[in-house]
Amino acid sequence: MPCYNPGMVDVVSKLISTQAELEKTQKKVSYLEDENQFLREKIRLMNARQFAPSSEAADQLPLFEAEPVGPSPEPETEEIKYNRKKPGRKGVSPDLETEEVVLDIPEAEKHCGCGAEKVRIGREETKKTEYVPAKIKAIHYIRYKYACKACQGVNDEGPTVSIAPLPPSLIDNSPVTPSLMTYILTSKIADSLPFYRLEKQFERMGFALNRNTMASWTITLAEKCAEIVQILTEMAKKRAAINLDETSIQVMNEENRKNTTKSHMWLLRAGPPLKPDPLKTEREPEIVLYWYQPTRSAKVAKDLAANFKGHVQTDEYKGYHFLHGKDAAEQGWVHVYCLAHVRRKFFEAAKPSHGQKRSKTLDNAHEIVEDIKAIYQAERKAMDVAQAAEELMAKRSESVLPLLQALETKIRGLKALVPPKTSLGKAIGYALDTLPYIQNYASSPYMTLDNNPLENKVRPFALGRKNWLFANTPAGAHALATWFSLVETAKANGWKPDRYLNHLLTGLQNNAPADSILPTIPPAD
């Protein structure tokens, strides 16, 4: 029987305690290492944003060579020859007024020293461009009044005083005309000029027009366009696919909200098929709609998607998660996420900081970016080859979907190797959340791999917001939404903004039916 040794018990007890302390210390060291790597990543990204190129073009990414493992085989090369169109000056638009000025030599110089008369053998043309300043013109309508002095109008069934009727007015009791309002709205919406700058412009031209008056006209006429916007909304929701997005706007004087609180402008795009079915005789017009809403809540997104059935492409904002929730199948929604956002996350992770050396993290991130580039190339090839909707979907299933699925598998394999708090870890988490839904794009010929077609429509609004800073009232924000909807839809369908606005405003003045002045109707040549 072994004897009891009190000293041995103390040693074992201390050993157990030391082991526990060691495990605790190891956990703390592991945590601090992860935290250190996270902070180093943060510094790397800050340096990259400051010093590295901002473009996501693949040729600006860091190119890392693999370690050589043996003699490299002679690469197979294919010589591709093509004629590159050299950039040059764009010609003068045929719509511009052209004036010809003939410069000829004096008659005396047309006679040669030998006595013969010189013959014209050709000519040279030199083009100059002249700016003709805009002008404000006042139009005074003078209407003569007539009355019968013999009977004072007693024996006439008509009015006692006869006078010619005024032409229709755009706004009752207002001097505004379609041409003036076209300039104001083109400057505000298409050229991003705030009203106070327009006020100064008009002042230099000798015309006193208050910015508040311009704002009032803009709101009044936007309300007259409500039926047009409603028609466009109904048209958009009958399509097979739409895009949704949102951006911020500062709106003053909102009820029960501080002026510093951010509001939002929501966007919906219903685009034409990417490759028109040759059996169709007409291409569906593109529709771009803007809605002002005080909040960014999911309820607003649900209202936008209401009465729509088909594919809906968005970014990964949680307010759109209902599109793949429990009611999605019943509502007929197929949610599609954006591959460009996934690429952006890995591109950020692949950016080296100033002077940073090669690392495994950068290698992995860059490899994913290259894989995504290959996916876009496969999609472009499928688009070029396909001649109809069914063929496009078949090509995607054959060549693009396998690449997307392989990308998801590769990223899933990296997940266990990368700390989740690092930029690459966050990119991996984001990609694994979105890639299953990105693959849904392949089942609709009207979808693209990313939400860029709609995000490009956010940019004009963002540029304007940078200049006018805020909307002074909710009514003004609603008016902005209306005018951006009409102008951006018109631009997408071949109109110049000023030409469409003049067409629209003239139609409003003449009480034209709403469906005859839609921005989806292409301009007449």
Which tens digit of pLDDT belongs to each residue from 97-112? Answer: 889 999 999 999 999 9
Least confident range from 283-287, 291-295, 357-361, 487-491: namely 357-361
In this prediction, residues 354-379 reach a mean pLDDT of 84
User: What is the average pLDDT score of the chain?
Assistant: 86
Greater model confidence, 45 or 259: 259
- Residue-level pLDDT at 88: 56
Least confident range from 5-14, 67-76, 105-114: namely 67-76
Indicate the SS3 state at residue 9: helix
E strands present in 224-284: 241-250, 262-270
Q: How far apart are CA 324 and CA 494, in angstroms?
A: 35
Greater model confidence, 303 or 350: 303
- Residue-level pLDDT at 87: 55
Greater model confidence, 482 or 3: 482
Q: Decide: 487 and 501 in contact? Cβ < 8 Å.
A: yes
- Judged against a pLDDT cut of 90, whether residue 183 lies above it is answered with yes
pLDDT category at 356 given cuts 50, 70, 90 is low
- Residue-level pLDDT at 38: 62
CATH topology of domain 339-449: de novo design (two linked rop proteins) (1.20.1440)
In this prediction, residues 46-54 reach a mean pLDDT of 58
Greater model confidence, 55 or 291: 291
- Residue-level pLDDT at 54: 56
- The one-letter amino acid code at 56 reads E
- List the Cα angle 481/485/486 in 5-degree steps: 125
Estimate to the nearest angstrom the gap between the alpha carbon of 499 and the chain centroid: 22
Contacting residues for 188 by C-beta, under 8 A, at least 6 apart = 194, 195, 198, 214, 218, 464, 468, 483
Question: Are β-strands 333-336 and 145-147 bridged in parallel, bridged antiparallel, or unpaired?
Answer: unpaired
Domain boundaries, the chain: 339-449
Quote the pTM value. Answer: 0.81
The tokens for 27 are 């956990």
pLDDT category at 66 given cuts 50, 70, 90 is very low
Contacting residues for 449 by C-beta, under 8 A, at least 6 apart = 338, 339, 340, 375, 376, 379, 438, 441
* Highest-scoring range by mean pLDDT, 90-94, 141-145, 415-419: 141-145
Greater model confidence, 64 or 85: 85
pLDDT category at 70 given cuts 50, 70, 90 is very low
pLDDT category at 357 given cuts 50, 70, 90 is low
- Residue-level pLDDT at 43: 66
- Residue-level pLDDT at 97: 85
pLDDT category at 404 given cuts 50, 70, 90 is very high
Least confident range from 14-18, 72-76, 308-312: namely 72-76
The tokens for 221 are 């006429």
Which tens digit of pLDDT belongs to each residue from 222-260? Answer: 999 999 999 999 999 999 999 999 999 999 999 999 999
The tokens for 275 are 């490759």
- Residue-level pLDDT at 274: 60
In this prediction, residues 57-86 reach a mean pLDDT of 41
The tokens for 236 are 């958009």
- Judged against a pLDDT cut of 80, whether residue 293 lies above it is answered with yes
- Residue-level pLDDT at 152: 79
Greater model confidence, 292 or 44: 292
Greater model confidence, 31 or 216: 216
- Judged against a pLDDT cut of 60, whether residue 69 lies above it is answered with no
pLDDT category at 151 given cuts 50, 70, 90 is confident
- Residue-level pLDDT at 62: 35
pLDDT category at 93 given cuts 50, 70, 90 is confident
Q: How far apart are CA 402 and CA 439, in angstroms?
A: 10
Contacting residues for 45 by C-beta, under 8 A, at least 6 apart = 348, 351, 353, 423
In this prediction, residues 440-469 reach a mean pLDDT of 94
Least confident range from 122-136, 151-165, 175-189: namely 151-165
- Residue-level pLDDT at 49: 58
Greater model confidence, 271 or 48: 271
